[in-house]
Amino acid sequence: MSKKSSLGDIERIPSGIKGLDKVIEGGFEKNSVILVSGSGGSGKTIFGISFLLEGINKFNETAVYISFEENKEKFYRHMSRFGWDLSDLEKKGKFVFIKYTPEKIARIVKEGGKDIGKELKELNAKRIVIDSLSAYTVLFEKESEQRKMLVDLFEMIDGWDCTAIVIAEENPSLEKYHSSVMGFMADAIIYLYNIIKDNRSLIRGMQIAKMRGTRHAFNIFPFSIGDKGIEASPEDSLYGISSKK
């Protein structure tokens, strides 16, 4: 299910993040690739699952979570703390967990990704999350290899006829190799921050660094993670507070 926005009748996909859609013209562009980046514990995976559940619960869509690292049982247990019964959704055929090693996904990318594309088409998947890109990039020592495989991966995702969130763990040692490639290839970039205020308290911040074809907020605004997931407050701003991704 999608809707049109004001910029050239672009079809939009609701994000599933409370408060976010009002500053991105109603949602993500249909079939776009959104990069969500941040440090460990910043809320990236919760963001991705919230996006998938929006499609399942409100539009009866099938959603796919592709993991390079997570143990499924442990992952389901952690997500149940938010009242999300992914195991039950899996039994109903609405949530699909696919585990690939980074090495296997690299082989799939080299082969053009036809097998994944076929599986997604058979599932009629409309939303996917890939978690995480960082586990994939560390396979390649040379900068030229990292760049090529990132380009190939994004081009593969772009051909799946799905709206996709790609999660990346921020890693300063890798940033010089892949940030420019990811920034160019992704249709949208959202940063999640852990922000230290007055050297004492930790607050969470979100920033929309890029979103093609969309009028969007540019400020770093607060968000919270509660019992039911993420709630953003884009009307507020965290300017003037030192932050780290």
How much is the pTM?
0.89
Distance CA 193, CA 241 (A): 11
Among candidate residues 186, 190, 181, the one with its CA nearest the CA of residue 212: 186
Instruction: Scan for tokens 């010089």, then name that residue.
Output: 176
Distance CA 27, CA 19 (A): 11
pLDDT above 70: percentage of residues in the chain = 90
Per-residue pLDDT at 227:
85
Per-residue pLDDT at 4:
52
Q: What share of the chain is helix, strand, coil (3-state, %, to 5)?
A: 35, 30, 35
Write out the two tokens for 16: 């599933």
**DSSP state, residue 18:** B
Q: Quick check: 83 and 49 in contact, CB under 8 A?
A: no
**pLDDT classification of 104: cutoffs 50, 70, 90:** confident
The answer to whether residue 238 scores a pLDDT higher than 90 is: no
Write out the two tokens for 155: 């081009």
The answer to whether residue 176 scores a pLDDT higher than 50 is: no
Per-residue pLDDT at 136:
81
The architecture that CATH gives domain 31-232 is: 3-Layer(aba) Sandwich (3.40)
Q: How far is CA 168 from CA 13, 132, 156, 165, 197, in A?
A: 21, 5, 17, 10, 24
Per-residue pLDDT at 173:
45
Host H or E run for residue 27: none
pLDDT digits (tens, 9 = 90+) for 8-51: 578 999 999 999 999 999 999 999 999 999 988 899 999 999 99
Write out the two tokens for 5: 């926005």
Residue 27, number of CB atoms within 10 A of its CB: 25
Peptide bond into 132 cis (omega under 30): yes
The answer to whether residue 223 scores a pLDDT higher than 70 is: yes
pLDDT above 90: percentage of residues in the chain = 57
Distance CA 159, CA 116 (A): 11
Per domain, the residue ranges of the chain are 31-232
Task: Phi first, then psi: give them for residue 193, nearest 5 degrees.
Answer: -120, 145
pLDDT digits (tens, 9 = 90+) for 124-173: 999 999 998 877 877 787 888 888 888 888 999 999 999 999 999 875 44
Q: Average per-residue pLDDT in the chain?
A: 87
